[in-house]
Chain A
Amino acid sequence: MSNTAWLFVAFLAAWAIIGAYVYSLGARQRRLEERLDSLERSRS
């Protein structure tokens, strides 16, 4: 594999990790919003 290919692999790996973390934050936010909705529904 060429050096340029290794550079892109490293670049993609870095962005995959950042992307996975941002996705996990989004998933946690959605779960919290669902909990909040069900809490408000049970109150009303």
Chain B
Amino acid sequence: MTAVAMTAALILIFFVAREADAAMGGPLQRIFYFHVPAAWAAYLAFAIVFLSSIAYLRMGGRRWDLLAESAAELGVAFTTIVLVTGPIWAYPVWGTWWQWDARLTSALVMWLTYVGYLFLRALTEDPQRVGRLAAVAGVVGFVNVPIVHFSVRWWRTLHPSGPTPADLAADSGLGSPELLAFFTSLIAFTLLFAWLLGVRVRLGRLSDEIGAKEIRAPIEQAA
């Protein structure tokens, strides 16, 4: 289903969503159709890290810790897409790869925060200690996510604010083919995220099972 949605999104982006090209700076504007869905997938990932971290702090349980770890990894991957495609879009339009404005800087800080979160997990072998430390970092780190999102409205930035849902419902300059391409791409990235999260969580469970077997093996051999 993910592959079908992604193929449909690519066909729509490259062959259907052409009307807005003239009004929005040529074919380059089509970076929007994967730059924004990647940002959405990153937000979704970090929201899962936040909620799973709260659940872990309240109830404990490796499954919450594993879900937070897996989502953080995916959030970093999708934020990397945002941070790479953004400058590629910016250079021909702004004449510079990077501007230290509120949106770009807060997005970079968000990426660094979750890279730090993943490094933090690698610091110690004690799963209880890692879980607690990472859960606190997962809750505190999320503070920046709404700042990234609303930075374009709170501060003057070179980065465009983008249409709100209300704008999309009204006249945003995006025609029906463009809206169809955008929402198809949004669904495709959401499905891709869900699929990758499932794979990553299964991998984590397998790793835990092998770890437990490796601990038991010498005891069983001695007995």
Contacts and interface: CB of A to CB of B under 8 A. Distances in A.
Interface of A: 1, 3-4, 6-7, 9-11, 13-14, 17-18, 21-22, 25, 28-29, 32, 35-36, 39, 42-43
Q: Which 9 A-B pairs have the closest CB atoms?
A: A3-B28, A10-B88, A3-B26, A10-B85, A21-B77, A10-B31, A13-B84, A14-B81, A4-B27
A18 to B, nearest CB: 7
A28 B196 CA distance: 14
A38 B181 CA distance: 48
A27 to B, nearest CB: 11
B207 interface: yes
Interface string B194-211: 001001100100110010
A9 B84 CA distance: 10
Contacts of A6: 28, 31, 88-89, 91-92
Contacts of A18: 77, 81, 192
Interface in B165-219: 192, 196, 199-200, 203, 206-207, 210, 213-214, 217
B38 interface: yes
Contacts, number: 73
Interface of B: 25-28, 30-31, 34-35, 38, 74, 77, 80-81, 84-85, 88-89, 91-92, 192, 196, 199-200, 203, 206-207, 210, 213-214, 217, 220-221
